Amino acid sequence: MTDRDDVPFDLASMRKQYRAEGLSETELAASPVEQFARWFKQAATDGGLFEPNAMIVSTADAEGRTSSRTVLLKHFDEQGFVFYTNYDSRKARDLAENPYVSLLFPWHPMARQVIVTGVARRTGRDETAAYFRTRPHGSQLGAWASAQSSVVSTRADIDAAYAELAARYPEGEQVPVPSHWGGFRVAPQTVEFWQGRENRLHDRLRYVEQPDGRWRVERLSP
């Protein structure tokens, strides 16, 4: 049993009282992507967030074993939310077996969350290449140097692989796009907008995609 004096914080008493304005159905945009754009603009400009495009991507393999990690959102539009990764990574292997995915944007300083559920599909190679060219030179080399999610003996092995690539492709020389690297676009099926309120009576409004492509909005109990 853990000695209570050894615990640095009293977790049971750690809480914040959310005093933000509420979120009503009449304020929502016609589509979840338009509503996301509104909230994202606020998060990026005056939300006090370090990386507003950071999201938790949760996947599950064919046997239902889940895993989560933080990934950066790189594009969004009415077709979905796009991120990039190594196609040999755990998340990509999961998505190859089970394309259903959840994205969570934890905008804590604003007492907001956005939760997207949907289906992930690989982006086209032209789209992937166009994005890859916008990455810093070092990040392009990093996509080659790291066999993401695989076991590696030491950090020195990674540094050595990077150094070899840096010598082969010095700054200013074009780095080829790795065939094992690319994007996923998550086509949303539901998008929940969560606004913290007093007494834990939060506002939760969720867009649900209908068979005809339109969106239904439903309120969830906090």
Contact present, 222 and 204 (Cβ < 8 Å): yes
Q: Which amino acid is at 193?
A: F
CB atoms within 10 A of CB 158: 15
From the list 38, 200, 214, 219, the catalytic residue is: 200
Long-range contacts for 151-155 (Cβ within 8 Å, ≥24 apart)? Answer: none
**Quick check: helix, strand or coil at residue 186?**
strand
Rounded Cα gap, residues 109 and 97, in angstroms? 35
Counting beta carbons within 10 angstroms of the beta carbon of residue 76, is it exposed (0 to 12), middle (13 to 18) or buried (19 or more)?
Answer: buried
Active site residue 200: yes
Among the listed residues 139, 193, 159, the one whose alpha carbon sits nearest the alpha carbon of residue 31: 193
* Residues forming the active site: 200
